[in-house]
Amino acid sequence: MVQKVALLTAGGFAPCLSSAIGGLIERYTEVAPDVEIIAYKNGYEGLLSGDYLTVTDAIRAKAALLHEYGGSPIGNSRVKLTNAKDLVKRGLVAEGDDPLKVAADRLVADGVDVLHTIGGDDTNTTAADLAAYLATNGYGLTVVGLPKTIDNDVIPIKQSLGADTAAEMGARFAKNVMAEHNAGTRILLIHEVMGRNCGWLTAATARKYHEWIESVDWLPEIGLSKKSWDVHAVFVPEAEIDLHAESERLLKVMDEVGCVNIFLSEGAGITDIVEEMEKAGQEVARDAFGHIRLERINPGAWFGKQFAAMLNAKKVLVQKSGYYSRSAPANEFDRALIRSMTDLAVDSAIEGKPGVVGHDEENGDVLSVIAFDRIKGGKPFDITEDWYLELLSEIGQPGPVAAAPVEH
């Protein structure tokens, strides 16, 4: 019988964390009001240190308020329980300790029967490691995860929580940024969108922005030109980027309308950039999960430099929508998705069924609890999607050629 559950959010933010916490609290209050709920602060860091808050009756009564906000009220961190060296360095475990055992023992000490993790591929693979350790060592706890990532790149989950909102917010951000196209002459605008290995968010953001372009009226007679405001190129990691061919195409756009507007995934072309850095003897910074720290690489600036010369641009403006997009409150689509997933997560936890909740692409897109050993990160964006090919066609960009997969 479930008597006490714990919640944690981990990894980078997405526009679903606060709402997912609210949804879990609401569902437990509805179907199992006597179950005690605690929330570990700052993700797995709080779990290792035993730092948590208790969900009181006052919090339960106002849990619906959490749907109105972005971010995570209980905080996040990037912690990998199998990276002992990093955890020792941070002071979260002692030298020689097994972090998985430290986490498991902490859950037992805190009287937890169920752990709900809300995070992306790294969070859920970490949850999988913990769930496997708990099962193998007879701890008798249930772990149920929820898939959060703006990249929408968790295998085999069709739609991750927060991804649609992030695309919508990125398009909203672009509406203001692209207005800069006539702040001078021959301006190159690059909207850099988050997405380490997966271009889904960049493509979806460009799609939503282009749909807005098509839905409003224009007055070209006074310079309010649809083509000046539109997307002119979309670059994602899964497709090759022929700089010379694209520069020839985009030069015609620049000559015609006086600007070029590019939507760029932060992971696009990263192989070339890293290769250039390493040849120059520069260190490529990586995080605890071994991922390249893209904020140190600055892909937008690199592409800006390459294209500026080829397009004879007089001004280059690179703007990143990442933090604006990922910290927003969930939109209507995501709220409905969150509600369906949190309801199933709670029901499954009460039944003692572990796994990650999501629409299973390998099982007819049915919403179910997917076994942890089937969860993987790094799902690539399908560049043959009809809507993506239609978008490229409408903006005059040639159909994509698949790039060789690269680990970032």
DSSP H or E segment with residue 168: helix 163-177
Q: How many residues does the chain have?
A: 408
My answer on whether 101 and 216 are in the same domain is no
pTM over 0.85: yes
My answer on whether 11 and 143 are in the same domain is yes
**What is the arrangement of strands in the sheet containing 114-119, beginning at the earlier edge strand?**
52-54, 36-40, 4-9, 114-119, 142-147, 355-360, 366-370
| CA atoms of 360 and 354, how far apart (whole Å) | 15
In a domain, 407, yes or no: no
My answer on whether 185 and 309 are in the same domain is yes
Contacts of 204 (CB under 8 A, 6+ apart): 152, 163, 164, 167
In a domain, 405, yes or no: no
Residue 204 is predicted with a pLDDT of 98
My answer on whether 212 and 295 are in the same domain is yes
Distances (CA, A) of 356 to 193, 336, 360: 27, 18, 10
In the set 121, 151, 153, 343, the catalytic residue is: 151
In a domain, 212, yes or no: yes
Residue 169 is predicted with a pLDDT of 97
My answer on whether 203 and 345 are in the same domain is no
Contacts of 140 (CB under 8 A, 6+ apart): 134
In a domain, 400, yes or no: no
My answer on whether 240 and 389 are in the same domain is yes
Identify which of 72, 74, 75 has the alpha carbon closest to the alpha carbon of residue 18. Answer: 72
The residue range of the domain holding 274 is: 164-325+383-395
Tens of pLDDT along the chain (408 residues) come to 899 999 999 988 999 999 999 999 999 999 999 999 999 999 999 999 999 999 999 999 999 999 999 999 999 988 888 888 899 999 999 998 999 999 999 999 999 999 999 988 777 788 888 888 888 888 889 999 999 999 999 999 999 999 999 999 999 999 999 999 999 999 999 999 998 789 999 999 999 999 999 999 999 999 999 999 999 999 999 999 999 999 999 999 999 999 999 999 998 877 777 776 677 676 666 765 566 666 666 788 889 999 999 999 999 999 999 899 999 999 999 999 999 999 999 999 999 999 999 999 999 999 999 999 899 888 999 999 999 999 999 999 999 999 876 554
My answer on whether 255 and 217 are in the same domain is yes
In a domain, 354, yes or no: yes
For 370, the 3-state DSSP assignment is strand
- Enter the tokens of residue 230: 């539109």
Scanning 312-355, the segments in alpha helix (DSSP H) are 322-326, 332-351
My answer on whether 80 and 47 are in the same domain is yes
My answer on whether 125 and 173 are in the same domain is no
In a domain, 36, yes or no: yes
Please confirm whether the linkage preceding 299 is cis (ω < 30° from 0).
Answer: no
Question: The domain that contains 302 carries what CATH number?
Answer: 3.40.50.460
My answer on whether 362 and 249 are in the same domain is no
My answer on whether 152 and 107 are in the same domain is yes
My answer on whether 151 and 168 are in the same domain is no
Residue 289 is predicted with a pLDDT of 59
**Residue 151 bears catalytic tag:** yes
In a domain, 402, yes or no: no
Instruction: Annotate 218-239 with DSSP letters as a single string.
Output: -BGGGTB-HHHHS--EEE-TTB
Q: How far apart are the first and last CA of the chain?
A: 43
Question: The domain that contains 156 carries what CATH number?
Answer: 3.40.50.450
Q: How many domains is the chain partitioned into structurally?
A: 2
